[in-house]
C-alpha cells in the first residue's frame, strides 16, 4: 500500500462529476489566511475519493498535495506517523471520504494530532469546523467563512479575518 503519493496530472485529468468549485473557495481562504502554506496533506481512501482529489488538485494549483492513502480506521496510526515525519503545512478534510471524512472519528483523531504538531486543518463543511478544523468554507458552510479559534490557536495559525467563529 502506498502511504504517500504526489497527486498530479492524472488526478487533474480524472475529474469527474464533482463540482470543481467545491474546493476553490477553501483553497483561496487557505492561501490568503496562511500565506506560507505550500504543502497540503489529505488523508483518505484515494480510490473512493478520486473525484474529490481531482477537484482539490485543480483548486490547489501551485501547492504540493500529499495524499496519504488509507483503507480503514486501522490505518490512522500509520497515517499520523507519515504526516508527523513529513510535516505538511496544512491538512484538508474531504467531506465525503468514507474513512477520514468530516464527522468521522478518524477525522477527529487526525485534527487533534495535527493541531498538536502545529498543522492546521481546513474543511468545506460546518461539521468539520465544529469537529475541530481551524478553517472552513464551501458548500457545507453555506459559503460562509468559518473558523474554530481554539483549534487555530493550538495549531499556531491566524483566524481568518471576517470568519464566523464556532
User: Model confidence at 19, in pLDDT bands (50, 70, 90)?
Assistant: low
CA–CA gap between residue 143 and residue 152 (Å, rounded): 20
pLDDT tens digits, 20-51: 578 999 999 999 999 999 999 999 999 999 99
Burial of 91 (0-12, 13-18, 19+ CB in 10 A): buried
Count of H helices and E strands in the chain?
7, 8
- Return the residue matching grid coordinates 476553490: 24
Of the chain, the percentage scoring pLDDT greater than 70 comes to: 88
pTM, two decimal places: 0.86
CA–CA gap between residue 23 and residue 29 (Å, rounded): 10
pLDDT for the residue numbered 2: 44
Residue 39, classed as helix, strand or coil, is strand
User: All domains of the chain, ordered by start, with CATH?
Assistant: 5-158 (3.40.50.2300)
pLDDT, mean of residues 84-111: 94
pLDDT at 73 over 70: yes
- The CB-side HSE value for 105 (13 A sphere, CA atoms) comes to 5
CA distances (Å), 17 to each of 27, 50, 141, 153, in order?
19, 11, 20, 36
Residues 100, 36: contact at Cβ < 8 Å? Answer: no
Position with higher pLDDT, 161 vs 100: 100
Amino acid at each position: 500500500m502506498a502511504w504517500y503519493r504526489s497527486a498530479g496530472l492524472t488526478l487533474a485529468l480524472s475529474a469527474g462529476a464533482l463540482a470543481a468549485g467545491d474546493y476553490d473557495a477553501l483553497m483561496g481562504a487557505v492561501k490568503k489566511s496562511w500565506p506560507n502554506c505550500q504543502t497540503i496533506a489529505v488523508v483518505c481512501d484515494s480510490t473512493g475519493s478520486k473525484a474529490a482529489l481531482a477537484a482539490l488538485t485543480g483548486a490547489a494549483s501551485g501547492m504540493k498535495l500529499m495524499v496519504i492513502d488509507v483503507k480503514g480506521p486501522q490505518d490512522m496510526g500509520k497515517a499520523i506517523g507519515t504526516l508527523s515525519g513529513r510535516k505538511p503545512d496544512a491538512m484538508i478534510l474531504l467531506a465525503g471520504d468514507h474513512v477520514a471524512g468530516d464527522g468521522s472519528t478518524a477525522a477527529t483523531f487526525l485534527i487533534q494530532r495535527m493541531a498538536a504538531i502545529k498543522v492546521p486543518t481546513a474543511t468545506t463543511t460546518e461539521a468539520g469546523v465544529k469537529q475541530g478544523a481551524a478553517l472552513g468554507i464551501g458548500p457545507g458552510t453555506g459559503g460562509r467563512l468559518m473558523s474554530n479559534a481554539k483549534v487555530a490557536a493550538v495549531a499556531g495559525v491566524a483566524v481568518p479575518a471576517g470568519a464566523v467563529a464556532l
